């Protein structure tokens, strides 16, 4: 799939605000690919398509989890976690994006996982730091990326912040996120 087709696909499905976010993630991911020697093409495609299913009906997402035999733990979660895995299988099965790195980057952009590929890490971080994001600590993560150029530390700090947020709000943490935190905690040291 080329850039134009990917942008059209995202623009036709997503609300305008979400589409603009996806464009910023794709642009940030390409910037980061230049810094960290990632694949600009894969990062752009994963970035523009990562939230493709963000606004789908929950019942429809559960059907995709079952039909494509995704992690059954996903059935205990809502759209915040589900939209990545569902978008990944839809990109592969309905839109012909066969590349494993793009698939994994879309699949894990919210949860993370241990041993992410370079391009997966770029999408994971780009989604968090795109220019319109303003959550507490985002400038620290931007500094880790643009000043320190430490992608693994950024993944760790984002995962830690996400987990602290979930735990402080009595929310269940997806097991891959726990694995991600533990793995990148060891790697950063």
Show the domains of the chain with their CATH numbers.
Answer: 3-133 (1.10.3210.10)
Is 92 within 8 Å of 102 (Cβ atoms)? no
- Contact between 101 and 119 (Cβ < 8 Å): yes
Predicted structure pTM score: 0.95
Give percent above pLDDT 90 in the chain.
98
User: What's the average model confidence in pLDDT over 60-81?
Assistant: 95
Question: Residue 151 phi/psi, 5° resolution?
Answer: -65, -40
Phi, psi of 68 (to 5 degrees): -100, 10
What pLDDT shows up at residue 189?
59
Per-residue pLDDT reduced to its tens digit, 119-129: 999 999 999 99
CA–CA separation, 35 and 40 (whole Å): 10
The per-residue pLDDT of the chain, averaged, comes to 96
> Is the separation of the CB atoms in 119 and 33 below 8 Å?
yes
Q: What is the mean pLDDT of residues 13-31?
A: 98
For residue 188, is pLDDT > 80? no
Does residue 13 surpass a pLDDT of 90? Answer: yes
Closest CA to 1 of 96, 123, 85, 119: 96
Structure confidence at residue 38 as a pLDDT band (50, 70, 90) = very high
């Amino acid at each position: 799939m080329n850039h134009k087709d990917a942008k059209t696909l995202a623009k036709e499905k997503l609300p305008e605000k979400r589409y603009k976010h996806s464009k910023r993630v794709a642009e940030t991911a390409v910037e980061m690919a230049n810094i960290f020697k990632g694949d600009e093409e894969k990062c752009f495609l994963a970035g523009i398509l990562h939230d493709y299913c963000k606004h789908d009906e929950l019942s429809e997402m559960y059907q995709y989890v079952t039909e494509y035999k995704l992690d059954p733990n996903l059935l205990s979660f809502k759209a915040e976690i589900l939209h990545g895995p569902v978008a990944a299988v839809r990109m592969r099965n309905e839109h012909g994006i066969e590349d494993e790195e793009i698939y994994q980057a879309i699949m894990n952009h919210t949860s993370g996982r241990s041993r992410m590929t370079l391009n997966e890490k770029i999408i994971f971080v780009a989604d968090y730091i795109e220019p319109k994001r303003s959550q507490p600590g985002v400038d620290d993560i931007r500094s880790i990326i643009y000043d320190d150029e430490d992608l693994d530390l950024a993944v760790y700090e984002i995962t830690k912040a996400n987990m602290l947020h979930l735990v402080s709000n009595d929310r269940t943490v997806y097991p891959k996120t726990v694995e991600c935190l533990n793995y990148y905690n060891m790697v950063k040291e």
